[in-house]
Amino acid sequence: MEKSEKSLKDLLDAANSWHPNIKLEYKIGKNLPFLDVLLINNNGILSTSVYHKPAAEPYVVPFISDHPQHVFVNVIQTSLARAVPEIMGISFSQLNSDYGSYSPTFEKKMVEENRQDGYWIEAFQVDNQTLIGLIGYGIKSGEIKFYPNPSTTTKPGNATLIQKLNSPVAMDQADITGDGMNDIIICFQYGNTTLDSDPDGGKIVWLENPGQNIDKKLWKMHYVGKSPAMHRLKVGHFTQKKRWEILGLPVIGKPHDLFSAVPILLFRQPDNLFNATEWPYEIINQQFFHIIHDAKQLNIDELDSLLIASSEGINWLYFNQNLTQWMIENIGDGEQKQQQINFYGSGGIDLGRVGNDSFAYMPAIEPFHGNVISVYIKTMKNSLKKNQWKRYVLDIFGYPNENGESPSHHLICADFDKDGDDEFLVALRGPSPTKGVYFYKPIDLSRGLFAKWKVSDDSAARITVADFDNDSLLDFATISYSVPGYYTEENPSIHIFYNRFAQKKPQAKKEIQVMKQNNDLLFKVSRPNKALQYQALPFITIDGITFSLEIVPPHSSRLVDKNTYIKVLSGLIMWTDSSIKSCQPINCSRTFVCERRTVAPLEIHSDNGRITTGNEGALLIVFKTRDEINEIHRIDDIKKVMIKNSLPEYYPEETRQLGFQFVRYDQYDPRQQFKDLEFYNLKGFGINFADNDEHLCYMQLWARC
């Protein structure tokens, strides 16, 4: 698309009147090979970029308007952008059909704010008895802290200092001691900036995990080795499987020389692990790589290897056991076109799985501290070796600053929606508007098509992924970027973003099964203490009130509000209610809620709008009303009560067609005391445990007019 600046402006001005909800503000760069377009609507700001070349590839940009299934494409054809129901054979209506109401929504939880700085965050489990927490730190303060899982503490920022180091940068984790608990391997004494790195620094140590007594004293340090400007490190088994090895990756080769070749060091675990003064090492390569910013570790043929993002682009570094030598295989050259800055190549890399293909695509940040988000798609199936990779540019975020740097800093792949395909997140450090986290979902890899959503507005230096609330969905956490000499966020913070996808598609394994037994429904359920995922199964709606059977796994939580009412059938639920002036959580189980045949809807008054479970998990009957229940639901005429079978369509048809009705009780019991009494009964629902068919309970509903 070779057009003059005037014709481009005419085209943009014409497109500006195309839709009432869209305003186009554009800048045409003099030295950049792309046109940056800012799309503004009534619901927020969307930005995208269009390349000035005929081969520009489209990608899907979700857009909120009065036509929610419309999407916009960043390829200029007859107008700048076109609202279409289908892109290259893939539509959002099909996406919604496949996944229910597809909405990558995350609930933000503040872990700590007003930090001194921020750089690194990583999910970390102290031992197998403790919930997954976080390791977080910044380069300036040097305080390495462990943040317990928020479900175990009521105080935000309730962290434990485990060590204090001079300008720590990267970390990894592994069970170095073999005691079943992961230790921390970390590099520090970086220096002031990349160019002004400490010539005596780049030190690597491993911090010995003391177990449950992490708050008693600082973790013991064990020295490994050093190399100036040490910036990333990975722990694994790269040449053999008997002992730990550490690959150390400095960002540059020597201080004050941005373009010096970078040595890659391999440290080997010593015989005397605890008393060794350092680990033996060798330099496995010292001439190929320049400006290494990040690396992705992967395991192939039982050995670990690295995808390295550097000025050379993306390269796969691995040890060939047959040749007993290190090999470098090029994936792609990265960004080579921004000649107005000193950086080129790649700065971030990860590996995405799609279906059974473990190496389906590679998203990348390009170049070093770059603004380009690209993706590499291979031409052959499930292999890295001797493959051809095609590069697609998905996004360009802003423009380089006076130092040639841009906001993109980290990305990570994970299957957030549990469909078997990895999505990926991109962390933007800032400043606004290029700040936050973006979520990308693969739509059609053969054409490099991805859908995109912004899921956070907070500055993000790095992202870590884990199931923090144990609901079988992956969550993510971020730490703000605040590093003197680069970018300093005003209020550095740590946040967890809980996965709250609004999906209707059932999981492959259901915790609740249902069948027809005579004229009743029989539910077969997993034992709550062994449940792997949350499941809610609506089964009947009476006068607009829907009753659901729900399983909440151990150490999990569920949202509640003032109109949510719960009966515990098995297990235990907890919440905190400050209105009763007690710091102790309220416990509720089946055994002490109420006596049989008494009316006791369980009202929940939770300070944070959630109930949680402990080791037992919980099996619940839940119903939600439109208004608060101040008295028993009144019925004037039983014939006017609307009753509906609410089982989802993916359950057996015979269960969904089963009807329910209130029957006057004297038809069941002819005794005189019930004759002509307006007392009605609705049968019925049995619940058994699925593992051995043990009977738990049988439920009926009663009404009196």
Instruction: Tell which residue, 219, 266, 220, has the closest CA to residue 243.
Output: 266
Per-residue model confidence (pLDDT) at position 197: 85
Split at pLDDT 50, 70, 90, the class of 239 is very high
**How many beta carbons lie within 10 A of that of residue 47, not counting itself?**
18
Per-residue model confidence (pLDDT) at position 183: 97
What is the Cα–Cα distance from 430 to 189, expressed in whole angstroms? Answer: 25
Residue 608 scores a pLDDT above 80? no
Q: 5 and 13 in contact (C-beta within 8 Å)?
A: no
Residue 462 scores a pLDDT above 80? yes
Q: 244 and 269 in contact (C-beta within 8 Å)?
A: yes
Cis peptide before 431 (omega within 30 of 0): yes
204 vs 675: which has the higher pLDDT: 204
What is the Cα–Cα distance from 197 to 190, expressed in whole angstroms? Answer: 6
What is the Cα–Cα distance from 21 to 66, expressed in whole angstroms? Answer: 9
> Percent of the chain scored above 90 by pLDDT?
41
Question: What residues are paired with 62 via a beta bridge?
Answer: 71
Split at pLDDT 50, 70, 90, the class of 681 is confident
Question: CB-based burial of residue 681 (10 Å sphere; 0-12 exposed, 13-18 middle, 19+ buried)?
Answer: middle
Q: 167 and 142 in contact (C-beta within 8 Å)?
A: yes
Q: 661 and 595 in contact (C-beta within 8 Å)?
A: no
Instruction: Tell which residue, 251, 353, 341, has the closest CA to residue 292.
Output: 251
Q: How far out from the chain centre does Cα 232 lie?
A: 22
Domains located in the chain, CATH noted: 5-85 (no CATH), 293-457 (no CATH), 512-704 (2.60.120.990)
For residue 151, what is the enclosing H or E element? none
Instruction: Tell which residue, 688, 702, 553, has the closest CA to residue 633.
Output: 702
**How many beta carbons lie within 10 A of that of residue 484, not counting itself?**
12
Q: 231 and 169 in contact (C-beta within 8 Å)?
A: yes
Per-residue model confidence (pLDDT) at position 14: 62
583 vs 68: which has the higher pLDDT: 583
Question: CB-based burial of residue 507 (10 Å sphere; 0-12 exposed, 13-18 middle, 19+ buried)?
Answer: middle
Q: How far out from the chain centre does Cα 530 lie?
A: 24
Per-residue model confidence (pLDDT) at position 1: 40
Residue 479 scores a pLDDT above 80? yes
**pLDDT, tens only, 259-305:** 889 999 999 999 999 999 999 999 999 999 999 999 999 999 899 99
Q: Tokens standing for 25? A: 């503000």
Per-residue model confidence (pLDDT) at position 150: 86
Q: What is the mean pLDDT of residues 241-246?
A: 96
Q: How far out from the chain centre does Cα 674 lie?
A: 58
Split at pLDDT 50, 70, 90, the class of 60 is very low
Per-residue model confidence (pLDDT) at position 99: 42
Q: Tokens standing for 599? A: 């009316």
Q: 410 and 436 in contact (C-beta within 8 Å)?
A: no
Q: Tokens standing for 497? A: 């973003």
| Lowest mean pLDDT, pick from 6-20, 358-372, 412-426 | 6-20
Local structure of residue 369 (DSSP, 8 states): T
204 vs 651: which has the higher pLDDT: 204
Q: What is the mean pLDDT of residues 644-673?
A: 85
Question: What residues are paired with 549 via a beta bridge?
Answer: 537, 621
Q: How far out from the chain centre does Cα 271 lie?
A: 39
Residue 78 scores a pLDDT above 70? no
Split at pLDDT 50, 70, 90, the class of 156 is low
Residues in the chain, overall count:
705
Split at pLDDT 50, 70, 90, the class of 386 is confident
Cis peptide before 367 (omega within 30 of 0): yes
Split at pLDDT 50, 70, 90, the class of 508 is very low
Per-residue model confidence (pLDDT) at position 17: 55
| Lowest mean pLDDT, pick from 44-48, 572-576, 658-662 | 44-48
DSSP assignment of 594-656? --TT----EE---TTSEEEEEEEEEEEEEEE-SS---SPPP-S-GGG--EEE---TTS-HHHH
Q: Tokens standing for 38? A: 């800012």
> Percent of the chain scored above 70 by pLDDT?
78
Instruction: Tell which residue, 307, 308, 239, has the closest CA to residue 268.
Output: 239
Q: Tokens standing for 448? A: 């490099």
3-state secondary structure of 10: helix
14 vs 144: which has the higher pLDDT: 144
Q: Whole-number mean pLDDT of the chain?
A: 80
**Could you identify the residue written with the tokens 């995922």?**
533
What is the Cα–Cα distance from 413 to 423, expressed in whole angstroms? Answer: 6
Q: What is the mean pLDDT of residues 199-208?
A: 95
Residue 16 scores a pLDDT above 70? no
What is the Cα–Cα distance from 424 to 426, expressed in whole angstroms? Answer: 7
3-state secondary structure of 12: helix
Residue 40 scores a pLDDT above 50? no
pTM given for the model: 0.62
Per-residue model confidence (pLDDT) at position 165: 96
| Lowest mean pLDDT, pick from 421-425, 466-470, 645-649 | 645-649
Phi, psi of 151 (to 5 degrees): -70, -10
- The 8 Å CB, 24+ separation contacts for 129-132 are 129/212, 130/212, 131/468, 131/470, 131/555, 132/466, 132/467, 132/468
Q: How far out from the chain centre does Cα 354 lie?
A: 17
The single-letter code of the amino acid at 118 is G
What is the Cα–Cα distance from 328 to 361, expressed in whole angstroms? Answer: 19
Residue 451 scores a pLDDT above 80? yes
676 vs 466: which has the higher pLDDT: 466
Q: Do strands 171-174 and 160-164 pair parallel, antiparallel, or not at all (unpaired)? A: unpaired
**How many beta carbons lie within 10 A of that of residue 103, not counting itself?**
13
323 vs 641: which has the higher pLDDT: 323
| Lowest mean pLDDT, pick from 219-223, 370-374, 404-408 | 404-408
Q: What is the mean pLDDT of residues 139-165?
A: 86
Most confident of 98-102, 434-438, 463-467, 488-492: 463-467
189 vs 675: which has the higher pLDDT: 189
Q: What is the mean pLDDT of residues 569-589?
A: 73
Cα–Cα distance list, 174 to 4, 177, 223, 273, 381 (Å): 57, 9, 15, 14, 31
- CB proximity list for 193: less than 8 A, separation 6 or greater: 485, 486
Q: 445 and 421 in contact (C-beta within 8 Å)?
A: no
Residue 76 scores a pLDDT above 90? no
Q: Put the strands of the sheet holding 44-51 in their side by side order.
A: 23-28, 34-41, 44-51
- Biggest CA–CA distance in the chain, Å, is 100
Residue 186 scores a pLDDT above 90? yes
